[in-house]
């Protein structure tokens, strides 16, 4: 294992749609192909890109989100996820300085500054020539705390176009580290919430990552990009056992089995979640509600993350045996933590198809995208969150549930400014549309394992 301090580089862009996912994923895969151990990261609450990063690098794709986990955990999480790696490649989110609308928190620029990492700007240069110099000058000078160290020209049109753009970058004082031509065949299928997940895309996802790797290896100077990377700053390393507390992870006694849903319908999870569950004393078993007819043997707690159940509603409904087991587990009072897609799975029905029937609500697709960070307070104590707990979370869905929350014998889970109370709490069940990051809420993980025990 490599014991040297990993170096980090951040790939950002002036705006969404610039192609940074293709370039970032291709860079990770191209470096891994030649034997470099790459630690892949994504800024923000994105669940989809890390799946492609995992395929590219062969290590778990992880998220770095100061809003969800706090600024003090960004460095420790990066050092944890980079252990044994030579270089950490961090893909940004939206434009370089875009974050939470109110104050820009959670931006790629903030994460780069927290890591002391240089930024390589991926610019979609279609329709540009010398104006690139002004764009680069602006991004270099806007925030002196952010080091923009180079540029990758994306979607160039011709060798002459590259010459003109390179001269423009020289005017701005930035080296060109690559010039990637337009390749329409590398467009990964998308849907209402972004890319199709790697788990759903199957072999085609692997083929897409391979194509990205070949494209980047041919048109980007890999050595030059790596040379811009700087060692991560010294500091503490995130430790899941320390986060949940040693008392929560007994060395002896029965370890409760926590089933975590996964597969194509429930792929919105964080790598740190399973690490925290195990550190808190649980055995973690995966269950795919599309294929598995029963919960893992001995299951005493269940985590249902987000995903795209609405895209797989017929298959989920057809798996009546598992739906019945989930309902029975909830009825027995076992802790069940469901977020977004997991909430929909617990409803009576989703788009007219029978689901688990745990909650007195129905789910349906809508035309409205609900998206953004939420500063939420727990209205009802549960197996996961104590009453009055304050968390930073994120919503990301086009579905709605009726009622919104807290109906019948259930109580509402959350409230936040300008929003009606939402979600459901009853006995051991906590279900809502709010996504939370377990690394930002380790006490919630410890509570769930304790309830399962």
| Residue range 280-311, pLDDT digits in tens | 999 999 999 999 999 999 999 999 999 999 99
Regarding whether 84 and 29 lie in a shared domain, the answer is yes
User: Where does a domain end: 211, 231, 251?
Assistant: 231
Terminal C-alpha separation, the chain: 36
Quote the number of domains for the chain: 2
Regarding whether 270 and 208 lie in a shared domain, the answer is no
Regarding whether 225 and 329 lie in a shared domain, the answer is no
* CATH at residue 155: 3.40.50.300
Which is the catalytic residue, given 340, 347, 356, 399? 340
Q: Please report whether residue 371 resides in a domain.
A: yes
Q: Please report whether residue 173 resides in a domain.
A: yes
Indicate the average pLDDT of the chain: 93
Q: Is 340 a catalytic residue?
A: yes
User: Where does a domain end: 231, 262, 281?
Assistant: 231
Regarding whether 413 and 274 lie in a shared domain, the answer is yes
Regarding whether 221 and 82 lie in a shared domain, the answer is yes
The whole domain housing 416 covers 240-452
Q: Please report whether residue 1 resides in a domain.
A: no
Residue ranges of alpha helices (H) inside 153-234 are 159-172, 198-201, 203-219, 222-228
Could you tell me which residue, 113 or 104, shows the higher pLDDT? 113
* CATH at residue 421: 3.40.50.880
Cα 232 from Cα 399, distance rounded (Å): 40
- For the stretch 323-373, pLDDT in tens is 999 999 999 999 999 999 999 999 999 999 999 999 999 999 998 988 899
Q: Please report whether residue 132 resides in a domain.
A: yes
Cα 251 from Cα 139, distance rounded (Å): 52
Regarding whether 317 and 277 lie in a shared domain, the answer is yes
Cα 201 from Cα 49, distance rounded (Å): 13
Regarding whether 268 and 227 lie in a shared domain, the answer is no
Regarding whether 259 and 175 lie in a shared domain, the answer is no
What pTM, to 2 d.p., does this model score?
0.93
The residues that bridge with 415 in the sheet, in sequence order, are 377
Regarding whether 182 and 282 lie in a shared domain, the answer is no
């Amino acid at each position: 294992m490599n014991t040297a301090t990993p170096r980090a580089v951040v790939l950002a862009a002036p705006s969404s749609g610039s192609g940074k996912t293709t370039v970032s994923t291709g860079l990770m895969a191209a470096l891994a192909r030649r034997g470099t151990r790459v630690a892949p990261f994504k800024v923000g609450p994105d669940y989809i890109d890390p799946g492609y990063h995992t395929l590219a690098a062969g290590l778990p794709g992880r998220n770095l989100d100061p809003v969800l986990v706090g600024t003090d955990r960004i460095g420790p999480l990066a050092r944890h996820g980079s252990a044994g790696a030579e270089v950490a490649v961090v893909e940004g989110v939206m434009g370089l300085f875009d974050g939470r609308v109110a104050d820009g928190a959670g931006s790629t620029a903030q994460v780069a500054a927290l890591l002391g990492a240089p930024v390589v700007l991926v610019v979609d240069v279609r329709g540009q020539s010398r104006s690139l110099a002004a764009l680069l000058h602006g991004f270099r000078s806007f925030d002196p705390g952010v080091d923009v160290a180079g540029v990758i020209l994306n979607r160039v049109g011709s060798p002459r176009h590259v010459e003109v753009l390179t001269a423009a970058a020289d005017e701005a004082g930035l080296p060109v580290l690559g010039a990637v031509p337009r390749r329409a065949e590398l467009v990964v299928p998308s849907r209402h919430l972004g890319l199709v997940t790697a788990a759903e895309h199957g072999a085609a996802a692997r083929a897409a990552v391979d194509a990205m790797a070949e494209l980047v290896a041919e048109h980007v100077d890999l050595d030059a990009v790596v040379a811009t990377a700087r060692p991560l700053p010294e500091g503490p390393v995130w430790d899941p056992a320390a986060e949940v507390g040693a008392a929560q992870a007994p060395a002896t006694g029965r370890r409760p089995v926590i089933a975590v849903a996964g597969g194509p319908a429930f792929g919105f999870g964080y790598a740190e979640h399973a690490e925290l569950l195990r550190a808190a004393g649980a055995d973690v078993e995966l269950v795919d509600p599309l294929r598995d007819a029963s919960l893992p043997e001995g299951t005493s707690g269940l985590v249902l993350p987000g995903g795209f159940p609405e895209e797989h509603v017929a298959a989920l409904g057809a798996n009546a045996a598992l739906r019945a087991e989930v309902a029975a587990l909830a009825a027995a009072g076992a802790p069940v933590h469901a977020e977004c897609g997991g909430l929909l799975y617990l409803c009576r029905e989703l788009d007219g198809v029978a689901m688990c029937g745990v909650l007195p609500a129905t789910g349906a697709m809508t035309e409205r995208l609900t998206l953004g960070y939420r500063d939420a307070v727990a209205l009802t104590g549960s197996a996961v969150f104590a009453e009055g707990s304050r968390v930073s979370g994120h919503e990301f869905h086009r579905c709605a549930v009726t009622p919104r929350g807290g109906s019948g014998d259930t109580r509402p889970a959350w409230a936040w400014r300008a929003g009606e109370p939402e979600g459901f709490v009853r006995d051991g069940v906590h279900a809502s549309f709010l996504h939370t990051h377990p690394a930002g809420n380790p006490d919630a993980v410890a509570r769930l394992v304790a309830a399962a025990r």
